[in-house]
Amino acid sequence: MSDTLAGRRVAFVVAPEGIEQVELTEPWKAVEKAGGIPELVSSDSGTVQAFNHLDKADTFPVDKVVTDVSPDDYDALVLPGGVANPDFLRTNKDAVKFIGGFFAQQKPVAAICHAPWTLIEADVVRGRRLTSWPSLQTDLRNAGAEWVDEEVVVDAGLVTSRNPDDLPAFCAKLVEEIAEGKHRAQSRST
């Protein structure tokens, strides 16, 4: 195990169900392999239901409930995709506030696939360059982002990727950005 992230705590924020499993498990493993401490944060306690596209996959135990934590508790944030997961999160005011707090504190954030939907709700994409699942491009542009079709995009501590095929590049960049720490440009006004 590397010590690149030596003890840094990373919140993985998910809804109770609809998480694309590989977009949770692969970044989780990358954080652990780099010496970081991932924690599963959700709107509800208990377990969350992951999916392999539209088929139910594994369940995972929740470490913390979003109302019981603060961005102060973590060094970085990862937002896995799946269609239902970010759609639920963007309607949860506590989750949106928690996510926005990482930007206010200039901490690294990584979002893959449909996860940028929640970033739109947190009003943190304006003036940023990012990517996502292609069906989000109009939503992101309408929210003031520059959307591009690239494997991985890094903009001042914000790491985004399009889909599970991009996971190797996404995981490498999220570890790199977390290792770098705070990014002053992360909290630029939106």
- pLDDT digit string (tens) for 97-138? 999 999 999 999 999 999 999 999 999 999 999 999 999 999
Catalytic residue, candidates 53, 113, 171, 183: 113
The stretch 22-27 carries a mean pLDDT of 98
Is 113 a known active-site residue?
A: yes
Taking only the tens place, the pLDDT of each residue in 82-102 is: 999 999 999 999 999 999 999
Task: Kindly report the pTM of this predicted structure.
Answer: 0.96
Nearest Cα to Cα of residue 108 among 29, 17, 182 = 182
Q: Which residues contact 185 (CB under 8 A, 6 or more apart)?
A: 106, 156, 157
Is 114 a known active-site residue?
A: yes
Give every strand in the sheet of 9-14, ordered side by side: 64-65, 37-42, 9-14, 76-79, 109-112, 158-161, 152-155
- Superfamily for the 9-183 domain: Class I glutamine amidotransferase (GATase) domain (3.40.50.880)
Domain ranges of the chain: 9-183
Catalytic residue, candidates 53, 114, 171, 183: 114
